[in-house]
A and B are shown apart, each in its own frame.
Chain A
Amino acid sequence: MLGKLDWSAIPFDQPIPLAAGAVVLVAILAVLAWVVVKGHLPYLWSEWITSVDHKRIGVMYVLLASVMLLRGGSDAIMMRIQQAVAYQSQGYLPPEHYNQIFSAHGTIMIFFVAMPFVIGLMNLIVPLQLGVRDVAFPTLNSVGFWLTATGALLVNISLVVGEFARTGWLAFPPLSELSYSPGVGVDYYAWSLQISGVGTLVAGINLVTTVLKLRTRGMNYLRMPMFCWTTLASNLLIVAAFPILTATLAMLLLDRYLGFHFFTNEAGGNVMMFMNLIWAWGHPEVYILVLPAFGIFSEVVSTFSGKALFGYRSMVLATMAICVISFMVWLHHFFTMGAGPDVNAIFGIASMIIAVPTGVKIYNWLFTMYGGRIRFATPMLWAVGFMVTFIVGGLTGVLLAVPPADFMLHNSMFLVAHFHNVIIGGVLFGAFAGFEYWFPKAFGFRLDERWGKAGFWFTFLGFFITFVPLYIAGMLGMTRRMQHYDVAAWRPWMIVAAIGMAVLTIGVICQIVQLVVSIRNREALRDRTGDPWDGRSLEWATSSPPPAFNFAFNPDVRGEDAYWDMKARAQQQSLEREEPEYHDIEMPRNSPTGFVCAFFATVMGFALIWHIWWMVILGGLGAFATFVVFAWRDHDEYVIPADEVAAIDRINLEERRKLVSMAGAA
């Protein structure tokens, strides 16, 4: 009846996950109870859960990522403490538990923190920057988000019901095959990635189509803001790479569920094929994450330097070059496979070539700052901090791309330090910069600067105190994923790293405090003009937060830096003009499709993990029925009448006129 599921799945003998699970459960129940008692449920349902507005979906993505960052961060704290105390002792974590923690940490950070964070920011901002009302496929967009949430939910369920994989975040066979991992851990891993992967693919298709087919009048390709370009590149990579992940995981699942032999040791299976396939996805994945961050830094650096981006065209070229080359270097992840010096040399050189367009970008940012009027607001701090950090990470990356050096350093702490260097210094700093930069656009008030800056400095310093010791430990021969060790030389570095982790944690706490303080003071921090940073691209041309329809008129673009241009022209022409004629606007209706679909996907995923076949069928039928019902709907749009549009737009125009006349007077 319940497949493999019985009471032994609940780890009564392990206090840590049980307590953690209980705390999370109580927290969720408390929030739910509060929502219901306060009567917020109808509001949540109609304004958020069923919303197909790209701005709301973007916010929900970022929220999901933030919550999961706390979960993944707790794992990181546990690991750092373990390695600080586990010198010539077992530490406080049993080995199989430690293995689950690093696997869950890596999986969560990549798939449920970094991915939703950048996808959320792209969803929120790209249609605004393109000057359009919506994304290409609003309802599918909501499906994509909720499927990602399903994946995150399944990973968290594994904390209390059953176990998570102990195989690392890429589940290498043959360790992940049934004979070596007979439990449900790998199944949790594979199904949650399979389901959220579908969501990511949907998001990718949606954003590619949006950028290519839905630009406002005059928004030629070479006038698009940099963030739109990097979004395009990143989502092209999603569309090209995520199907590889889907296929690879499907093969692993076939091995585990039906006794196939793709990657087994018996009957001719080929383990190295898994490495090739997974890294053919995995290396582009790194650029899927970091390209949007590059776009954010481009926007931030140019806005806070008060200058157009230096070398815009070379920036576009560099972005697309990275997009293509990132597909040709995957083999540097296993130079030790034994493919021979020729193959290794080719992939080593290809890997180093990526440093060229990346270097172009760094120089362009520096030249944008050069001679500019720089304002060190919080987003700009993150951008500058990124440039410093990323250069270190990039250099160690080039070092790892030299095959002989890699023979020494792969699977060492040096590698762990390198990829955290680029992924925290690149992706996470970018996400935070974007968060601080666009927060006023999403919510209509700015974030507190003092707490924001404190958050930056603690995170920045904490980052170096944590990871420089790991570089050193790696040089001293410490391998990754160690539950405990006996080498005295490593000990001091592990202790310093743990202290660094504490500093990092203070940084995170500062950012949480910043959010709370800013919400409290929101009246004082209110952004009435919609343009708090003196921005240059079209998202600043509408009010904060933007109305459901984004723009009363499709903006008309005449050059790069569309909004900057408009402001300049408006000043010259002193804004004396008659009121334009407003029209009715059609917008897509809300739809519960995404949420219902994700509900059935969760049921089905859980049932698949535990081999509860009747429930699998139920979930599958439910998901199919949801789609048929969705396809059967008659009215998928509603109309916002012209006078309502006019009323909303007049307020915005009034504020904007004040802004321009003030700037003109100054």
Chain B
Amino acid sequence: MAMTATAGHAHADPHHIGVIIEHPGPASKRIVTAYGFWVFLLSDIVMFSCFFAAYAVLVGQTAGGPKGAEIFEQKNVAIETVCLLLSSFTCGMASIAADVRNRFWFYLGMTVTCVLGLIFLVIEFREFADLVARGYGPSRSAFLTAFFSLVGCHGLHVSAGVLWLLTMMAQVFAKGFRADVLRRMMCFALFWHALDIIWVGVFSVVYLLGSAV
């Protein structure tokens, strides 16, 4: 407060002995934004954990319907995984391009990321449509309910990510690499990488373990 502006120097905090490390004051906008977004991502991961838990509880409840091993297509899942992992890489390239303000590489990186994301979504959609057509929709059994919800929830996140990605490209097109656009780009990149990590979980828990039994 103003009153202390000219006041004499700090007397020691009675709890501390020796050097006091003084808190330097509010962090920069970039750090605050990234930090807040991290906290959001953590909460999103908690939400996913619930669907994982539900899947773990319900995985045996097939109610006479198919088990995981009977419906999972390893080839499709492999392509999906490769797409997502690659897209994380290209998304990283786009972030670097944004940091050095190179429009060409930024658009290229983002476009490839978008295409890979769309391929992933198309494969997933076809998997779902195929299962429903065979009568193995989510209301067939509690196992399928949990499966569709967990994988679908991830798919919804990817779809939202694609929308966000397009918005980011439009923003860079219209406004250039402004500080606030760069902050948003940083959040988008965090989001996209987080989806990748969650996919690794889905892939291991649902498809790998599911095909084993």
Contact = CB atoms under 8 A, between A and B. Distances in A.
Chain B CB count within 10 A is highest, among A216, A554, A559, for A559
Given A243-B43, A268-B63, A268-B143, A132 B1 contact: no
Contacts of B141: 261, 267-268
A522 to B, nearest CB: 26
A220 interface: yes
A175 interface: no
Interface stretch (B23-31, B73-81, B114-122): B23-31
A631 B167 contact: yes
B47 A558 contact: no
A209 B39 contact: yes
B26 A215 contact: yes
Nearest to A215: B23
Contact of B139 (A259, A270, A560, A634): A259
Contact of A201 (B24, B43, B175, B180): B43
A438 B36 CA distance: 28
Contacts of A555: 1, 4
B54 A554 contact: no
A270 B4 contact: no
Interface string B23-61: 111110001100110011011101100110110011001
A217 B50 contact: no
A541 B5 CA distance: 13
A542 B2 CA distance: 10
Contacts of B145: 254, 260-262, 267, 269
Interface string A171-206: 000000000000000000000000000000100111
A553 B1 contact: yes
Given A313-B15, A631-B167, A262 B36 contact: no
B13 A223 contact: yes
A218 B180 CA distance: 28
Given A215-B23, A219-B23, A570 B3 contact: yes
A60 interface: no
Interface stretch (A37-45, A117-125, A571-579, A601-609): A571-579
B4 A209 contact: no
Nearest to A212: B35
Contact of A205 (B2, B4, B36, B140): B36
B111 interface: no
Contacts of A212: 35
A560 B1 CA distance: 15
Contacts of B167: 628, 631
A218 B7 CA distance: 15
A205 B32 CA distance: 11
Nearest to B140: A267
Contacts, number: 187
Interface string A610-639: 000000000000001000100110101000
Nearest to B27: A213
B32 A209 contact: yes
B43 A240 contact: yes
Interface in A104-147: 131-132, 136-137
A138 to B, nearest CB: 11
Contacts of A631: 167, 171, 184
Interface in B127-175: 138-143, 145-146, 148-149, 163, 167, 171, 174-175
Contacts of B1: 131, 538, 541-542, 551, 553, 555-556, 563, 566
A405 to B, nearest CB: 29
B19 to A, nearest CB: 12
Given A209-B39, A261-B142, A575 B13 contact: no
B57 A580 contact: no
Nearest to A538: B1
A269 B14 CA distance: 59
A656 B1 CA distance: 12
B63 A656 contact: no
Interface in B168-206: 171, 174-175, 180, 184
B57 to A, nearest CB: 5
Contacts of B46: 239-240, 243-244
Contacts of A216: 25-26
Contacts of A556: 1, 4-5
B17 interface: no
Contacts of A503: none
A242 B50 contact: no
Contact of B54 (A239, A240, A251, A634): A251
A352 B90 CA distance: 52
A32 to B, nearest CB: 36
Contacts of A270: 57-58, 61, 142
B212 interface: no
Contact of B36 (A137, A273, A653): A137
Nearest to A575: B3
Contacts of B58: 262, 268-270, 273
B8 interface: yes
Interface string A513-537: 0000000000000000000000000
A489 interface: no
B35 A577 contact: no
A216 B43 CA distance: 27
A247 interface: yes
Contacts of B213: none
A475 interface: no
Chain B CB count within 10 A is highest, among A204, A209, A219, for A209
A552 interface: yes
B4 A267 contact: no
Contacts of A649: 2
Nearest to A628: B167
Contacts of A4: none
Contacts of A219: 23
A214 interface: yes
A246 interface: yes
A346 B58 CA distance: 25
B149 A136 contact: no
A242 B23 contact: no
A258 interface: yes
Contacts of A577: 5-6
B36 A260 contact: no
B39 A205 contact: yes
A631 B140 CA distance: 42
Contacts of B8: 569, 573
A553 B15 contact: no
B58 to A, nearest CB: 6
A560 B149 CA distance: 50
A289 to B, nearest CB: 19
B70 interface: no
A208 interface: yes
B39 A578 contact: no
Contacts of A205: 36, 39-40, 43
A563 B138 CA distance: 60
B6 to A, nearest CB: 5
A552 B2 CA distance: 7
Nearest to A551: B1
B43 A220 contact: no
Contacts of B36: 136-137, 205-206, 208-209
Contacts of B51: 247
B50 A580 contact: no
A577 B27 CA distance: 30
A51 B11 CA distance: 40
Contacts of A218: 10, 22-23
A244 B149 CA distance: 15
Contacts of B175: 634
Given A541-B3, A566-B7, 7 more contacts: A243-B50, A267-B61, A554-B26, A566-B3, A624-B163, A631-B184, A656-B3
11 contacts: A132-B26, A213-B31, A213-B35, A243-B47, A267-B145, A268-B143, A277-B54, A559-B13, A559-B14, A566-B4, A573-B8
